[in-house]
């Protein structure tokens, strides 16, 4: 008998799979369930020239933009929902130090569907007249060979690496999508299915038996997963649906600090460069604050 391979690694192992210049898709949506432990480690490691290809992005892109890790973002939205505009992303765009390639929201989803289907483009018939076409030169016009209709070919997302944050996975890389999930969690699954290098951070690594009890919810099977990392509170300050709420106080501190580039630098000195790793970050945030965010799911 040969033992089955364990895909368990560390957050540093995850970042080693994401070298400078990587075309990276980061799971989560707006201000929800981003793999923030990995995002912070990318900054600690001094990553440069990353392209983030996304759907609806938020504080994860804002943090990377402020820390100078990004060359380009391809997305439909970068913002912080109820917390307003993304201050560091905005500053980088206005200074001309970051390129953004704009897509519409549904197309930003469809680009990952194209990757899942291994298509060279996704067809679209409703972009005429928008400035998406004016500025996004990756989208090309074509004529439908069956109907003669004028259409546009939208490039697939095609990330080099996908990193998502899940509630639970096993050591082999089976990942559970909770029954009570919402759109952001389902988009993570589409992302993961369309890429050959998939990193999953999970709140908890569960036993093989636990996975078998939730077989219908294992929407990312082990062979799709490259690396699994246990990262409790790994999305903080974002929420993880069914586990904990967003840390609104931390978001407010982040927004206030990000009013200036200097203030943002003090924020990352304190919360990113200060703690040596994710566990030190959690200790800094503090058990009182973290436990106050715990959500009780259906009992």
Binding residues (CB under 8 A) for other proteins: these are 29-32, 56, 75-79, 81-82, 84-86, 89-90, 93-94, 96, 100, 102-107, 109, 125-132, 134-135, 149-151, 180-187, 190, 239, 241-242, 245-246, 295, 297
Q: Which is nearer to other proteins, 17 or 63 (CB)?
A: 63
3-state secondary structure of 280: helix
Q: In Å, how far are 38, 190, 205, 266 from 272, measured between CA atoms?
A: 11, 29, 24, 10
What does the CA dihedral 179, 296, 278, 51 come to, rounded to 10 degrees?
40
Q: Which is nearer to other proteins, 102 or 277 (CB)?
A: 102
Q: Which is nearer to other proteins, 82 or 273 (CB)?
A: 82
Q: Which is nearer to other proteins, 48 or 245 (CB)?
A: 245
Distance of closest approach, residue 26 Cβ to other proteins, in angstroms: 16
Distance of closest approach, residue 120 Cβ to other proteins, in angstroms: 20
Q: In the structure encoding, which two tokens stand for residue 13, read together?
A: 């192992």
Distance of closest approach, residue 240 Cβ to other proteins, in angstroms: 10
Distance of closest approach, residue 180 Cβ to other proteins, in angstroms: 7
Q: Which is nearer to other proteins, 10 or 186 (CB)?
A: 186
Distance of closest approach, residue 280 Cβ to other proteins, in angstroms: 28
Q: For the beta carbon of residue 37, count every other beta carbon within 10 angstroms.
A: 25
Query: Which residue bears the tokens 């908890």?
Result: 204
Residue 160 and residue 104: Cα distance in Å, rounded? 22
CA proximity to 68, closest of 86, 43, 34: 43
DSSP state for residue 180 in the 8-state scheme: S
């Amino acid at each position: 008998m040969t033992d089955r391979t364990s895909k368990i690694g560390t957050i540093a192992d995850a970042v080693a799979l994401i070298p400078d210049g990587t075309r990276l898709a980061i799971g989560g949506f707006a201000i929800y369930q981003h793999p923030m432990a990995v995002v912070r480690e990318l900054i600690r490691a001094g990553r440069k020239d990353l392209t983030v290809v996304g759907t609806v992005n938020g504080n994860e892109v804002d943090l990377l933009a402020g820390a100078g890790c990004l060359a380009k973002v391809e997305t439909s939205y970068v913002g912080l929902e109820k917390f307003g505009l993304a201050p560091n992303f905005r500053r980088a765009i206005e200074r001309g130090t970051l390129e953004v390639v704009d897509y519409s929201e549904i197309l930003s989803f469809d680009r990952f569907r194209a990757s899942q289907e291994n298509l060279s483009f996704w067809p679209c018939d409703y972009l005429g007249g928008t400035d998406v076409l004016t500025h996004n030169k990756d989208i090309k016009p074509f004529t439908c060979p069956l109907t003669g209709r004028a259409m546009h070919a939208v490039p697939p997302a095609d990330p080099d690496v996908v990193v998502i944050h899940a509630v639970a996975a096993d050591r082999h890389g089976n990942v559970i999508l909770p029954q009570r999930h919402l759109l952001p969690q389902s988009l993570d699954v589409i992302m993961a299915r369309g890429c050959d290098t998939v990193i999953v951070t999970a709140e908890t690594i569960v036993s093989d038996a636990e996975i078998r009890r939730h077989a219908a919810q294992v929407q990312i099977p082990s062979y799709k997963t490259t690396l699994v990392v246990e990262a409790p509170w790994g999305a903080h300050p974002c929420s993880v649906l069914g586990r904990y709420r967003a840390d609104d106080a931390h978001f407010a501190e982040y927004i206030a600090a990000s009013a200036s580039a200097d203030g943002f630098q003090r924020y990352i000195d304190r919360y990113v460069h200060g703690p040596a790793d994710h566990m030190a970050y959690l200790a800094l945030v503090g058990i009182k604050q973290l436990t106050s965010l715990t959500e009780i799911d259906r009992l």
